Each structure stands twice: as C-alpha cells, then as structure tokens.
C-alpha cells in the first residue's frame, strides 16, 4: 500500500520539528503543510478536534496527534531502519522520562525568557538556565543523550536550540558560557541532515519573535 504522509505544522514550532526530524531519519517522503495559527485550516480542526493544535501527522488519511506520540508512532511503523527509541525496556523508560521532563518544563521556561520583562523575566532566566544545566548533567560526556546513537531524547530537545539565539537576544544571556557541553551536543546534532533540514534558521526565529513582541507585547 502506498504511503501517503502529510504533516500539518508551523515552521517555528519546536514540537513540529520533532516529527519532521523523525520522518527524515526514517527517509519517509512527506507533504509538509504550514498552518496559519491565527486562521486554522478546516483539515487541522477536523483532524485534531480535541486540541486544535499542530503538529498533526496524517498517515494514509488517519491522524496522529501530539509530537512525542507521533515520533513513537513513526518509530513503530518504520521499524526497519534508524531506531529512535532504545530496545531495552529500562533505557526506553529513561528516554521517555527525559522527553516527558522536556515537555513539562522547556516551553514555559524558554517562553518566560523571550516573552516577559522585569522580575518575571529574571526568574524565568534563572529557571531556564537551571533546566539546561539539569539536561547537561544528564548528557554528561556522551555524544547523544542515549549514548553513541541519535535518538528520542535528542529529537525531543533539539528543536528548542533554534530558539536559543532569540532567548539570548531578548534575555541578555550567553547560553554557551553556562552550558558548553549542551551547545556542543546541539552542534553535533545540527550536522545530521535530518536535523539541519528540520530546524529553521536562528535569524528567522529572531525575526519572528521580534514581530510577535511588537504585535502583542506592551512595551
């Protein structure tokens, strides 16, 4: 049966980036459709009626929602190459734990850095750096979070790296000086074609953040 894969996404979304990377790691052809989140398409509303959010992966007409669930789905359907989750149950549980940690904490912490001001921003910056340091200490001296092979936790985290320069600009931070190992890890990931193709250029993200701030933030 021919595989028809459509991804409803929004180019700056760190969550959408996960699914893009997973599809590319497996060498799957897919149709990428960029959504206007202020004017959501009927297809998006129909395929994700519960949350009305991107990304939505539509495989042969059947929708899968939630980026981490999509990555696991892709790993299970196309299990013949480039495994994303480890095969050992304990290692799998550890990988799931760290992606869950990233899901619970990263977005809100990062958002506080580029979206808030004053005391709220200062607290946000401290939390964000602490978070990155926790992840860095989990990484230790490994190439990737899972060891020698690129995998689930790397995919779960790397999308946020495309927003780092925007955080540094608006948060007045130097992430590399705080977390050099994590930045080294990110640069290693960026050398993979699946990652380089799936992450937007940092400058494009900075421009996007600048526009959002102009539109919605009270200066």
Partner 1 sequence: MATDEVKVIGAWASPFVMRPRIALNLKSVPYEFLQETFGAKSELLLKSNPVHKKIPVLLHADKPVCESNIIVEYVDETWSASGPSMLPSTPYDRAIARFWAAYIDEKWFPSLKSILKAEGEEEKKAVLAQVEEGNALLEKAFIDCSKGKPFFNGEHIGYLDIAFGCFLAWLRVTELAGGHKLIDEVKTPSLSKWAERFCNDPAVKPVMPETATLAEFAKKIFAKPTA
Q: By CB under 8 A, name the binding residues for partner 1.
A: 50, 59, 62, 64-66, 69-70, 72-73, 76-77, 89-90, 92-93, 96-97, 100-101, 134
The distance of closest approach from Cβ of residue 62 to partner 1 in the complex, given in angstroms and rounded to an integer, is 6
Closest listed residue to residue 112, CA positions, set 100, 131, 128: 128
Separation of alpha carbons 114 and 174, rounded Å: 14
User: For residue 196, what are its two tokens?
Assistant: 């380089």
CA separation, residue 48 to residues 64, 108, 139, 176 (Å): 8, 22, 34, 38
Is the Cβ of residue 72 or residue 162 nearer to partner 1 in the bound state? 72
The distance of closest approach from Cβ of residue 214 to partner 1 in the complex, given in angstroms and rounded to an integer, is 31
The distance of closest approach from Cβ of residue 72 to partner 1 in the complex, given in angstroms and rounded to an integer, is 7
Is the Cβ of residue 62 or residue 140 nearer to partner 1 in the bound state? 62
The distance of closest approach from Cβ of residue 57 to partner 1 in the complex, given in angstroms and rounded to an integer, is 9
> Counting beta carbons within 10 angstroms of the beta carbon of residue 181, is it exposed (0 to 12), middle (13 to 18) or buried (19 or more)?
middle
Report, in angstroms and rounded to the nearest whole number, the Rg of the chain calculated over CA atoms: 17
With the CA atoms of 132, 138, 140 and 143 taken in that order, what torsion angle do they form, in degrees rounded to the nearest 10? -90
Is the Cβ of residue 58 or residue 175 nearer to partner 1 in the bound state? 58
The distance of closest approach from Cβ of residue 201 to partner 1 in the complex, given in angstroms and rounded to an integer, is 31
The distance of closest approach from Cβ of residue 160 to partner 1 in the complex, given in angstroms and rounded to an integer, is 18
Q: Cite the DSSP H helix spans in the chain.
A: 14-25, 42-47, 67-77, 89-115, 118-139, 152-158, 164-171, 175-178, 180-190, 193-198, 202-216
Is the Cβ of residue 90 or residue 216 nearer to partner 1 in the bound state? 90
Is the Cβ of residue 31 or residue 100 nearer to partner 1 in the bound state? 100
Is the Cβ of residue 145 or residue 170 nearer to partner 1 in the bound state? 145
* Contact of 74 with 26, CB cutoff 8 Å: yes
């Amino acid at each position: 049966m021919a595989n028809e894969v459509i991804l409803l996404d929004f180019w700056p979304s760190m969550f959408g980036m996960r699914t893009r990377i997973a599809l590319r790691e497996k060498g799957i052809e897919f149709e990428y459709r960029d959504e206007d989140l202020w004017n959501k398409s009927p297809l998006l509303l129909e395929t994700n009626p519960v949350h009305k959010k991107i990304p939505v992966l539509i495989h042969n007409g059947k929708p899968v929602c939630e980026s981490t669930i999509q990555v696991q789905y892709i790993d299970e359907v196309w299990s013949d190459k480039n495994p994303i989750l480890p095969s050992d149950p304990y290692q799998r549980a550890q990988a799931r734990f760290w992606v869950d940690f990233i899901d619970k904490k990263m977005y809100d912490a990062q958002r506080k850095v580029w979206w808030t001001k004053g005391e709220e921003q200062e607290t946000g910056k401290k939390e964000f750096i602490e978070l990155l340091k926790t992840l860095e200490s989990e990484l230790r001296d490994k190439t990737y979070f899972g060891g020698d092979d690129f995998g689930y936790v790397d995919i779960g985290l790397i999308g946020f790296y495309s927003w780092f320069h925007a955080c540094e600009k608006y948060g007045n931070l130097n992430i590399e000086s705080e977390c050099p190992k994590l930045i080294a890890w990110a640069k290693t990931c960026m050398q993979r074609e699946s990652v380089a193709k799936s992450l937007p250029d940092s400058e494009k993200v900075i421009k996007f953040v600048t526009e959002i701030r102009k539109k919605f933030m009270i200066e």
